[in-house]
Chains A and B, each alone.
Chain A
Amino acid sequence: MIRLEKRRGISKLWTTLTPVLAVFLTMLFGGLMFGLLLGDLSSAFGAIKLIFWDPLFDENFASYARPQLLVKAGPIILIAIGLSIGFKAGIWNIGAEGQYILGAIFGASVALSLFPRESIFIFPTMILAGAFGGFIWALIPAVLKVYFKTNEILVSLMLVYVAENILASVSQGLLRNPDGMGFPGSRNLKDYPSAHNSEIITNSGMHWGVLTAFLSVILAYFLFLKHQKGYEIKITGEAPKAAYFAGINPSKTIIFCMGMSGLLAGMAGLFEVAGPAGQITISFNSGYGFTAIIVAFLGRLNPLGILMAGLLMALTYIGGEIAQLMLGLPGASIQLLQGMLLFFLLATDIFTNYSFKTRGS
């Protein structure tokens, strides 16, 4: 007989090992799924190689795919770092997609209202506006939680649908390109030098948002390692009562965590709309806010882990696009693959929290 025994603490070894195991299992079962979809199991390995290996190392794809890796990973990492701060404290902001949209709208509005003036101050102002947009959108569930004890999961998620409607409205009305002959969508910010989030190094994919994402990783690392606030957040998550008695104000923690995650998601939205996306359109958002949730967990809520998980998730996006093109795999199968990854991670989590003992020992 094998039985489970709860570990005193979490296993450090398994904490790092489980994401690797989860990725391996996802490749295995994902490959099986692709094989079945293509009606030929022998093509399973090829499909997995096409998604996880070829974007980086096959010379036919690498010149396109390597810069794209940073372009996709940037916003995902930036959002996931923000979410991880809240998740550590047991505060579940799952409406990052909405904060991302609002950040993009706020930031783009600044640029569009100043068009066509040129100034070096325009882009920094847009970043601030984007951060503010995400921040206030995240503050709604935070304030409602503090004052009315409403569930932040539900409120933040409802606000995603509200944000999507606002996006539809402004891209057809308020922010529509006056020279766009009536088509929905704003002016393209790529054609507006002062507002364009351009690449810092040409053809590297490295734009200001990617740089900010890397900075956020470093800042989050220090927040949790060195700063009092990071310690308070950890305590709140692990032992809310102890935190309360130690004088840590739960309301302040809620506002801080939600606010920070909204701020970063808003910035991610601005960088995306001013850079790779270029313009506000009805469907410019691409679900990064939800993918970031998987990334936060896959990275074990650890900044460095999130960095790697974000790059991996970006790889599945690009590899997925290539597989779609080369093998005709449906786009939704990649979404399924990402979901599988989260499931396998959660399933293997048992090794971190419990140890297997044979009876009698």
Chain B
Amino acid sequence: MVMFGIDLVLLIPALMISATPVLLAAIGEAVVEKSGVLNLGVEGMMITGAVIGFIIAVNTQIPIYGFICAAFAGALLSVIFAILTQYMMSNQVATGLGLTMVGLGLSALIGKPYEGIKSPTLTKLEIPILSDIPILGPMIFSHDAIVYFSIFIIASVAFIIKKTRIGLILRAVGENQDAAHALGYKVIRIRFIAIMFGGATAGIGGAYISLARVPQWTEGMTAGAGWIALALVVFASWKPWRVLVGAYLFGGITVLQLNLQAIGVAIPVEILSMSPYLVTIVVLVGISLFGHQTAPGSLARPFHASQ
């Protein structure tokens, strides 16, 4: 299956790998925003996850340990954000930006001795029978565990938000914090947990960059993936399955531009490299033109149960 000199059997798996980090970060942020909190620190949590995951995986030679520790590291960093915004009522925009800066500084600091090392690679899980299907098998059914895990997370979040009581409470807190409080829900506590979930998935997403997509550690290697995840949440109108669609679309563009660079198309490299960011802007404009934005009602509003 070759189109325009690009092999689709190679393109689709590359697309899924390229999309997985932003997918994980974006689904976490979607949950955080559903609870009425805007955490702009995704980039910082991702890069912290990337460096911690890398260090643990290199030292233990077991990538899965890296991912687990990256999840903890991301969640731990998000706790700072949660304490500041939920208990000390700090400005969410400023705190999120601060989290990004701290994450970038911290990761550069602790990652220094690990530059230039190669990480152990993830083994591919060949799903029995399905992976033997010609074309479709190698395309979709022979990936590493994290790719499947990310899809599983999307499905679970979609199910929990739509069908369960927990999801209903989460949405209530995000849509109208005062009403939720009046009904007796612990607004702060629920948001705290949501923020930590967002931190954990961002951490795993970051680790996927340093352990699978690249796989190496370099300073600032997330290169705006966290911000693109934030844009994806808006693109997806806070709906989990649309996060998946958006992430794969974005992954497709990234892989396509990398492929075009490799083939040596007569487009300057810089234009190709900036295309994912330009596309993100165009998509944001398109969404406000054609989609209906339904941001959670209490998004980014601080809550203090005083009255």
Contact = CB atoms under 8 A, between A and B. Distances in A.
Interface residues of B, number: 44
B89 A354 contact: yes
A333 B109 contact: yes
B277 A5 contact: no
A158 B90 contact: no
Interface stretch (B58-66, B96-104, B136-144, B155-163): B96-104
A189 interface: no
Interface stretch (B122-130, B187-195, B243-251, B268-276): B268-276
Interface size class of A (residues with CB under 8 A): 35 or more
Contacts of A168: 270
Interface in A121-162: 144, 148-151, 153-155, 157-159, 161-162
B216 interface: no
A339 B104 CA distance: 9
A166 interface: yes
Which label, helix, strand, loop or mixed, suits the secondary structure of the B interface? Answer: helix
A331 B219 CA distance: 12
Give the most central of A155, A168, A332, A350: most B CB within 10 Å: A332
Contacts of A343: 80, 84, 95, 98, 102
Contacts of A188: none
Interface in B217-240: 219, 223-224, 227-228, 230-231, 234
Contacts of A106: none
A313 to B, nearest CB: 12
A23 B270 CA distance: 41
B105 interface: yes
A223 interface: no
5 contacts: A154-B230, A166-B270, A337-B105, A346-B91, A346-B94
Interface of B: 40, 80, 84, 88-91, 93-95, 97-98, 101-102, 104-106, 108-109, 112, 219, 223-224, 227-228, 230-231, 234, 268, 270-271, 273-274, 277-278, 280-281, 284-285, 288-289, 293, 304, 306
Given A144-B284, A335-B101, A339-B102, 19 more contacts: A4-B304, A144-B285, A148-B289, A154-B284, A161-B274, A162-B274, A165-B271, A166-B274, A173-B268, A332-B105, A332-B109, A332-B112, A332-B219, A336-B102, A336-B105, A336-B106, A339-B104, A342-B97, A350-B88
